[in-house]
Amino acid sequence: MKVLGWLLRFFAFFWVLILSGGTFLQYYDFKNQSTFLTIKAAAVKTGWYLPAFYFHIIASSIILLVGFMQFSPYVYHKRNLHKLLGKVYVFGVLFFAAPGAYGMTFFINRGPWVFVSFLVQNTLWVLFTLWAWQAIKNKKMDEHVFMMRRSYALAFAAVTLRLYIFILTKYGNGAHFANNYIIIAYLSWLPNLIFVELLNRFTKYQPPILKGGDQ
């Protein structure tokens, strides 16, 4: 089981790194010349889409890496570092990534089912993140850990969505068919949540042993 756990961590980190690094390399110059933004030309012309888009992708790239680091035993046992990265994650989700995602949702144009999927996903993301933050303020450690797992599962949907799109584009008939996009819209986050619910149910939270200046 330990080997499987390490393999899953490596797989997750690899795709987080690919997505975060790829996002930076593709959009760092803000020239709006990517294929994706070309497709969204009508939305870009409204003046509302680009701010939401950049808020979401930049913040999401950071919080995906920061959130993944929070599951590292080294970071987890360093209280000050864990708290700092936690604040970056919560602030990034609540003030940049999630508001940006809400803005982008209204320009999806892939039908009501896809709209509902992203709207529900984003709302749960906000709620779980707020709940986790409130739980740690009230020193409810178990609740905090479980809620943060749920929150990161929804953040990780950015990775799984693009993974499914890549698979369908490479080996299927593409993601642009209406039914295909409906399927991957829900597959991008529902299995993530199911996995975390099983993790929360069958693993016991153990508080970190604080060391030195991190007491």
Q: Which of 30-44, 55-69, 100-114, 167-181 has the lowest mean pLDDT?
A: 167-181
Kindly report, residue by residue over 20-74, the tens digit of the pLDDT.
Answer: 776 766 666 666 667 677 778 888 899 999 999 999 999 999 999 999 999 888 8
Question: Rounded to an integer, what distance in angstroms lies between the CA atom of residue 38 and that of residue 43?
Answer: 10
- What contacts 195, CB < 8 A, 6 or more positions away? 153
Q: What is the pTM of this model?
A: 0.85
Res 157 pLDDT > 60: yes
In the prediction, which pLDDT does 178 show? 62
Note the helical H segments in the chain. Answer: 2-27, 35-39, 41-45, 49-69, 73-76, 79-92, 98-105, 112-137, 141-155, 157-171, 178-187, 190-202
Contact 92, 62 (CB under 8 A): yes
| 3-7, 28-32, 84-88: which is most confident | 84-88
Among 160, 91, 152, CA closest to 124: 152
47 C-beta neighbours (distance < 10 Å), count: 8
What is the average per-residue pLDDT within 142-146?
93
What is the average per-residue pLDDT within 5-34?
69
